[in-house]
Structure 1
């Protein structure tokens, strides 16, 4: 484990998408994939969201929806997420570290990057 210090949004955001362990002031530990850090909150295990457009990230090779107004019929767009492995209950996103966790930065005591 490698400590992430100082605990500010700019420094923490550099590690988005990586496995981390967050320890709060009361001693509880939360392990998960760092999704984002903004607005004074640390979010673990969130859906894959594109920071620029706010939309869902697409898999490589996924076709984009055609532009409107070019004489083509617009097909309904199907939201595609990153290729998560199928879970134990069938196809679909599987999050081995649990559901979404939102922590206040003020409550964090330590944040570790888990290096495998």
Structure 2
């Protein structure tokens, strides 16, 4: 994933309203009204938040008549999981090197 795509993805998840929408959409598709109601925001504000989620690659939308329905993009969060795993692996290697260095060069009692 390109850095600018990661930036959009993390930006989209940075807002608590958008994270609540993602949590709701993880259970299944929902209309703008269904997403805005529980978090008590106006429909135009909800649409703006959903646009950010869509630009971040997290949700997809479909319009049928006058109703726009949103759903999670399949594997939308997989890239975050992979990114975290890569950081964890690098950190674990660094700790392993530190442990080895501590064993190779033990402290001397003075």
The answer to which structure has the higher helix fraction is 2
TM over 0.5: no
Rg (Cα) greater in structure: 2
For normalisation by structure 1, the TM-score amounts to 0.23
For normalisation by structure 2, the TM-score amounts to 0.24
